[in-house]
Amino acid sequence: MKRIILLLAVAVFAISTKGQQYDSSNSLKRRAFVQYTKNAKGMYEKKEDVTVDVVSNIVRLYAYNKNTKEVYVETKYGNYVVSLDEENAKKVEKNKNLNLDVFSVPISGFELAVAEDVNANLAKKIEELNLARQAELTDSINQEQKKIEYASKRKQDSIDAVNKLQEDKIYTTTKDWRLVPSGMYLMCNFCREFTRDNELLCFKIANDSIVWGKVNEGHLGLTYLSIHKSSIPDYFKYDRKFKRHCELFRDSLCADSADFSEKFIEEFNDAHLLYYAEKLKAIAPYGFFINWGWDYKYSLSFNFEYYNTNKKTIKYIEVFWVIKNDVGDTRNSGSFKGTGPLESFSSASWKWDYSNYRIAGDATNMDITKVILTYMDGFTKVVGKNSVIVEYGN
C-alpha cells in the first residue's frame, strides 16, 4: 500500500521544469542517487551517492519531503535529491501543482520504493545509449586498423619475451634461492608450527613438499633456527611469485640430498635448541628477570617474572631491594620471597598486591640489590647486584 501511495506521489509532484536547474543560488545541497557521465569514448559511466554542484537537464520534479525540505529530481542523466533553503522550499510548497498533504510526514522507505524505479528507468535508457555508442565504435574500426594492432601486438610480444629473459637473469643473480616468496599460511606436518612470513627460508622442495626454516626469537636478544616440513598447498602452486622463483631456482631447490625425515628434523631442532640454551646459560648462569615492577599506593606492591637457566630446580627465590628518592636518599629496603618450584629452563611469575612496607612520599626509584636462590637440594646461590640481569628493564 505504501508503494502505491508513493507512486501516486510521483504523478502528483511532476511539474514543468524546462530550463530549470539547481545550484548554490537556489539550494543548500545536491546529492545524486545515481549520475551518468560520458567518458573519453563517449560511453556513459555510473557514479552513485555523490555530491554535485549543479543539477541541470531536469526532466521532472517527482517528489517532495515537506519535513526535510528535500525535492527529488530526475534529469536526463541522473537521479538527485536536493535540499532547499526556506525561501525555495516555500516556492515548491506553494506550487499549486504539488499535493503537499501527501508528504506531511517523513516518507518511509522512499528511496527504495520510488527512487529505485527512477534509477531502473535511467539504467535502461543509458544501457540503450551505450549499446548504440558501442556499435558506433565497433563499426569505426576497419580491417587496416586491425592489421596495425595485430602487428603491434606481435612486436610487443617479442619485446616482452626479451624483457622477461633479462628480468629472469637479474632475478637469479640478485636473489637468494633459499628465500622463497610466500606470505601465505603454511603448517609443519610434524610439529604443527606455522608461518606466514613474506619470504620462506627454504632448504628443499621435492615431491610436493617444502622444507623451510624459522628463526625463532629467544630471550636476551638470542635467536635459534628450527626447520619444518610441509605439504605444498594448491594455493602455493598457483601463486605467481612462488611459481616463478621455483622455476628459476629449480636445480638449487631440489639439490639437497638430505631426506629431511621426521627424525632428522627432530634431531636438528633439538641440537639448535640446546645450543641456544647453552648461550643463554653462558650469559645468565643462574637465570634472569624477564621483567619486574613496583608501585605504591597504601603499601608497597611488587611483581616479577624469573627465568631459571640452571640445571637445578629453584625452591625459593628471594629478591632484595632498596627504594630511594631522586637525590639518592634511602626511603626503605626489604625483600620479597617467592616459592617455587621453578624448573630448569622455564619461567614463573610472582606478585604481591600489598605488603607491610610503607614508603615516604618522595620515593621514586627501586633497585634490586641481590637475589638469593635456594634450590631443591638445599644449595643456596647469592646473585649480587652487578650480576642481576633483566631482559626488559624496569
pLDDT digits (tens, 9 = 90+) for 143-196: 778 788 888 888 888 899 999 899 999 999 999 999 999 878 889 999 999 888
Sheet with 58-65, side-by-side order of all strands:
44-51, 29-38, 78-83, 70-75, 58-65
Mean pLDDT of the region 129-133: 93
Q: How confident is the model at residue 98 (pLDDT cuts 50, 70, 90)?
A: low
Residue 9 confidence (pLDDT) above 70: no
Separation between Cα atoms, residue 336 and residue 301, nearest integer Å: 10
Amino acid 108: pLDDT: 56
203 — phi, psi (to 5°)? -105, -35
**Range scoring the smallest mean pLDDT among 127-131, 264-268, 274-278, 358-362:** 358-362
Per-residue pLDDT band at 13 (split at 50, 70, 90) = very low
Confidence of residue 101 (pLDDT cuts 50, 70, 90): very low
The pLDDT of residue 248 is above 70: yes
Nearest alpha-carbon partner for 226 in 271, 282, 283: 271
Cis peptide before 233 (omega within 30 of 0): no
Taking only the tens place, the pLDDT of each residue in 313-328 is: 999 999 999 999 999 9
pLDDT, position 7: 40
Read off the pLDDT of each residue in 194-220 and give the average, rounded to a whole number: 91
* Cell numbers for 130: 551505450
Average pLDDT, the chain: 88
